[in-house]
Amino acid sequence: MNEVDLTVHLTPDDIVRGLRSDVRTGLTAVPKTLPPKWFYDARGSELFERITRLPEYYPTRAEREILAARSSEIASLTGASTLVELGSGSSEKTRFLLDALRDKGTLREMVMLDVSESALREAAETLSAAYPVSVHGVVGDFTQHLALLPGSAERLVAFLGGTIGNLVPAERTKFLTGVRDVLDEGEWLLLGTDLVKDPAVLVRAYDDAAGVTAEFNRNVLHVLNRELSADFDAAAFEHVALWDEAQEWIEMRLRATRPMRAHVPVVGLTVDFVEGEELRTEVSAKFRPERVRSELADAGFELREWWTDRDGRFGVSLSRAVAR
């Protein structure tokens, strides 16, 4: 096995500090909100992996179909020697890219960044055992730590799964500009984006019959209870997934089924919910191809290829960093 080196830009202390700050801001706001990155402790990462195998959750299968069909073309076009994956999770689909880059003979190193240390360690060890390249795992936040990523030209940054949709538009602009800033002209971005479609299909994907997404959603409250000694009664919140037609995003919320008071002693906060009150935990934006192209262009990327799965549910774009 090649060596796995792990760099930690988010220590457990940093994580608790960040969580405290987001809780203070989000749970005193009207309406209440929490950022989705707090879903992903070890249990949340496992629940997400279960989501990817649900019959209703098509994005993972659709993106896998595209990567299986196009990775060899991606390897030929980019000739990348460093593959950088952001929000890498299990990096399961990434193997198509790694296989193709290895077969081309260009691949030298893999850098993977995720906020979830457990998911990152497991994936880094698996990839390191399977590929003859150096694997660098970075525990970090892709909205904060892009400038600290290792890796040398020619780089291909992959941001898969549709995770860009979990950022609101202003965050997306900042994120894409941040990625552009760390790349040299001519380097590459491979971006997975879920596409606008029949709202019934979308809502089913975020409200599955087995209740796995509901458990994933409630997991954020378990994280608050553990990390901040809070006392949320997670079972008393019901999972809500709705389609926001105007914003073209799915919104996940947790709805209080009765009046509740929760304490978050670590931040000295008492949080009251009236019956039916909702806490927004995630947006998952769905895209039209023109929007992907224009957001990329605004950040300094030129779209070179656009692929969808056979059913047109999911899009993967390959774009190149250009002069700004």
315 binding ligand SAH? (CB under 6 A) = no
Least spacing, CB of residue 20 vs ligand AVI, in Å: 23
Q: Is residue 270 packed enough to be buried (19+ CB in 10 Å), middle (13-18) or exposed (0-12)?
A: exposed
Question: What residues have CB less than 8 Å from 59, skipping those under 6 apart?
Answer: 161, 162, 192, 194, 205, 313, 314
- Largest pairwise CA distance in the chain: 61
| Binding span for ligand SAH by CB under 6 A among 65-73, 85-93, 237-245, 299-307 | 85-93
Q: Which partner from the list ligand AVI, ligand SAH, none does 287 bind, CB cut-off 5 to 8 Å by kind?
A: none
Tell me the C-alpha distance between 38 and 87, whole Å: 13
Least spacing, CB of residue 150 vs ligand AVI, in Å: 24
165 binding ligand AVI? (CB under 6 A) = yes
From residue 82 to residue 101, the character string flagging contacts with ligand AVI as x (rule: CB under 6 A) and all else as - is: --------------------
163 binding ligand AVI? (CB under 6 A) = yes
287 binding ligand SAH? (CB under 6 A) = no
| Binding span for ligand AVI by CB under 6 A among 157-165, 226-234, 269-277, 315-323 | 157-165
Tell me the C-alpha distance between 15 and 3, whole Å: 26
Tell me the C-alpha distance between 23 and 232, whole Å: 13
313 binding ligand SAH? (CB under 6 A) = no
> Residue 56, preceding bond cis, omega within 30 degrees?
no
119 binding ligand SAH? (CB under 6 A) = yes
Nearer to ligand AVI, 57 or 273 (CB): 57
Distance of CA 74 to the CA centre of its chain: 21
232 binding ligand AVI? (CB under 6 A) = no
Nearer to ligand AVI, 137 or 161 (CB): 161
* Residues that bind ligand SAH in the complex, under the rule CB under 6 A: 37, 40, 45, 48, 52, 60, 87-89, 93, 114-116, 119, 141-143, 160-161, 163
